[in-house]
């Protein structure tokens, strides 16, 4: 019945039903059937109010709506538009200059917004028309935008990593209890941010290297923009534009990594900073604030409803013996932890075609996380591998979420196949970085060990 529950949820989601209500509704249905059949003990459901109270009082998750507010406010302040125009003008005359500017701005804004759909759509609306007008190959232009937009998955501070840290911490504690440790350690948001920093920078660096090499080998795909009198932007103006977002990211990330603030406190600083950055262009109006609050509430409600539905699903799944089934299956695979990890990564990659990061984080990670960590995997390394794997999934044709987001704002005459061709090199880069992290886990674990010794 545990396997049937998982399959029934998958079928209901593919039929288009809302995720949160599907998780809770199908779980309750199976709980009722299991109770009548004598295969489910309804005592498991008595733990649900405690889980609800735990969600309500979770200090880490309070950071989610505040980070969402910060990201939406930065999006409304049009900083990305100003930064892109200034960087593009600085790099005029350089082959691939506009593409490099898109990656740099995408990385900066992705770290602030942390929502893949919002970043891809924003960058698509701002930069795609300009890139096509300047003669960029449509595949190169769309591939660059999709890849830059998904960087919010891995570059801290990120909403995705905040949610993943909370789930990983619970899974890690559960794994330690299973191994007989009754004073379990936790995984903090700061540790996961520190673990993601080096892989995120490596990924951005490899994206830039690829674009530079492509511009050198095939300059026709990324032609330089003609220089015109008066088009130059001073370095001072560029520094002025970048100073605000960079200071904001450094303040938020630095206060968390330095232990000066909790993620929630740092997010509050970021939200105030985002409002201040919106002041100079007169984008901070009452109407803007109302819209930002509305969108923040909408996203936050979606996240927490999914979390509540996932909590009920995991209770019923455990009551039906699903945890033991998954544990026996993964530990019994030939090849041990390597095969188990590889299989989990493949399954998550495929699930990334039909489920968003939030659903996978709240539903799948609590099921497989404790088993993998009980087999000896480092929780920080596992978390970053999952984040990078799903980032790759969101880029992969034909079902990657980023491709659909960009397709929605592309010109109608731009073929979808161009988007598919454009992302393939970036997918290869993602897989290469996944291989690097698999071969050298210290790329993830070194910085957290330095910042948080012991």
Query: What are the structure tokens assigned to 28, written together?
Result: 């309750």
Residue 157 near residue 193, CB atoms below 8 Å:
yes
Query: What are the structure tokens assigned to 23, written together?
Result: 């998780």
Return d(Cα 3, Cα 320) in angstroms, integer: 9
What local confidence, expressed as pLDDT, does residue 340 receive? Answer: 92
**Is 239 a domain residue?**
yes
The end-to-end CA distance of the chain, in Å, is 43
What local confidence, expressed as pLDDT, does residue 189 receive? Answer: 87
Return d(Cα 171, Cα 331) in angstroms, integer: 17
What local confidence, expressed as pLDDT, does residue 281 receive? Answer: 67
**Is 268 a domain residue?**
yes
**Is 3 a domain residue?**
no
Token pair 């061709």 in the structure block, residue: 421
What local confidence, expressed as pLDDT, does residue 238 receive? Answer: 66
**Is 20 a domain residue?**
no
Return d(Cα 224, Cα 135) in angstroms, integer: 9
Residue 24 dihedral angles phi and psi, to the nearest 5°? -70, -45
Label residue 43 exposed, middle or buried (CB < 10 Å: 0-12, 13-18, 19+): exposed
Return d(Cα 72, Cα 69) in angstroms, integer: 5
Query: What are the structure tokens assigned to 280, written together?
Result: 């100079």
Distances (CA, A) of 182 to 60, 174, 178, 373, 394: 23, 10, 9, 16, 38
Return d(Cα 97, Cα 408) in angstroms, integer: 25
Residue 105 near residue 387, CB atoms below 8 Å:
no
Residue 234 dihedral angles phi and psi, to the nearest 5°? -70, 150
Residues 6+ apart with CB under 8 A from 93: 224, 225, 226, 227
Label residue 266 exposed, middle or buried (CB < 10 Å: 0-12, 13-18, 19+): buried
What local confidence, expressed as pLDDT, does residue 259 receive? Answer: 81
**Is 8 a domain residue?**
no
Domain tally, the chain:
1
Predicted confidence pLDDT, tens digits, the chain (454 residues): 888 888 888 888 777 788 888 889 999 999 999 999 888 888 888 888 988 898 888 887 888 888 888 878 877 777 777 777 777 777 776 778 888 888 888 887 766 655 656 678 777 888 888 888 888 899 999 999 989 888 878 888 878 888 898 899 888 888 888 877 777 788 888 899 999 999 999 999 999 999 999 999 998 888 876 655 555 556 666 677 677 777 887 888 888 888 888 888 888 888 898 888 888 766 788 888 999 899 889 888 888 888 898 889 888 988 888 888 888 888 888 888 899 999 999 988 888 877 778 888 888 888 898 999 988 899 999 999 999 998 898 888 877 778 888 888 888 888 888 889 999 999 999 999 999 999 999 999 999 988 887 6
What local confidence, expressed as pLDDT, does residue 405 receive? Answer: 81
Query: 190: domain range?
Result: 36-451
Three-state DSSP class for residue 428: helix
Task: Give start and end residues of each alpha helix (H) in 188-336.
Answer: 189-217, 235-257, 263-278, 286-319, 322-331
**Is 391 a domain residue?**
yes
Residue 171 near residue 412, CB atoms below 8 Å:
no
Looking at residue 154, what DSSP letter applies?
A: T
The reply to whether the predicted model has a pTM over 0.85 is yes
What local confidence, expressed as pLDDT, does residue 211 receive? Answer: 93
Token pair 């900073």 in the structure block, residue: 273
What local confidence, expressed as pLDDT, does residue 196 receive? Answer: 92
**Is 2 a domain residue?**
no
Query: What are the structure tokens assigned to 342, written together?
Result: 């590889």
Label residue 112 exposed, middle or buried (CB < 10 Å: 0-12, 13-18, 19+): buried
**Is 207 a domain residue?**
yes
Return d(Cα 286, Cα 277) in angstroms, integer: 15
């Amino acid at each position: 019945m545990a396997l049937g529950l998982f399959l029934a949820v998958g079928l209901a989601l593919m039929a288009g039903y809302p995720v949160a209500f599907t998780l809770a509704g199908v779980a309750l249905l199976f709980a009722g059937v299991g109770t009548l059949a004598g295969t489910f003990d309804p005592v498991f459901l008595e733990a649900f109010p405690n889980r609800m109270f735990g969600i309500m009082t979770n200090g880490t998750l309070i950071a989610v709506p505040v980070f969402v507010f910060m990201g939406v406010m930065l999006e409304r302040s049009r900083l990305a538009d100003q930064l892109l125009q200034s960087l593009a003008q600085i790099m005029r005359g350089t082959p691939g200059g506009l593409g490099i500017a898109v990656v740099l701005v995408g990385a900066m804004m992705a770290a602030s917004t942390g929502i893949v759909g919002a970043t891809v759509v924003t960058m698509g609306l701002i930069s795609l028309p300009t890139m096509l007008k300047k003669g960029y190959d449509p595949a190169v232009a769309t591939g660059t935008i999709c890849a830059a937009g998904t960087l919010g998955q891995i570059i801290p501070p990120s909403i995705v990593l905040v949610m993943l840290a909370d789930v990983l911490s619970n899974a890690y504690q559960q794994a330690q209890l299973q191994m007989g440790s009754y004073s379990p350690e936790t995984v903090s948001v700061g540790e996961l941010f520190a673990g993601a920093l080096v892989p995120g920078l490596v990924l951005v660096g490899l994206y830039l290297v690829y674009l530079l090499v492509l511009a050198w080998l095939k300059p026709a795909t990324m032609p330089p923009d003609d220089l015109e009198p008066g088009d130059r932007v001073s370095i001072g103006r560029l520094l002025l534009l970048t100073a605000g977002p960079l200071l904001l990211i450094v303040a938020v990330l630095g206060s968390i990594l330095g232990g000066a603030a909790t993620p929630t406190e740092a997010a509050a600083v970021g939200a105030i900073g985002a409002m201040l950055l919106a002041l100079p262009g007169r984008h901070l109006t009452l109407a803007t604030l109302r819209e930002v609050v509305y969108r923040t509430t909408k996203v936050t409600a979606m996240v927490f409803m999914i979390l509540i539905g996932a909590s009920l699903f995991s209770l019923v799944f455990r009551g039906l013996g699903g945890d033991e089934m998954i544990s026996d299956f993964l530990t019994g695979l030939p090849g041990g932890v390597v095969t188990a990890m590889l299989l989990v990564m493949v399954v998550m990659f495929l699930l990334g075609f039909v489920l968003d990061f939030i659903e996978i984080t709240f539903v799948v990670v609590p099921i497989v996380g404790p088993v993998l960590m009980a087999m000896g995997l480092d929780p920080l390394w596992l978390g970053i591998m999952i984040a990078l794997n799903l980032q790759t999934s969101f880029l992969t044709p034909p079902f990657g979420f980023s491709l659909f987001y960009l397709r929605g704002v592309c010109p109608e005459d731009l073929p979808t196949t161009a988007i598919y061709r454009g992302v393939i090199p970036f997918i290869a880069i993602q897989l290469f970085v996944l291989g690097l992290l698999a071969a050298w886990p210290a790329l993830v674990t070194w910085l957290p060990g330095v910042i948080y010794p012991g």
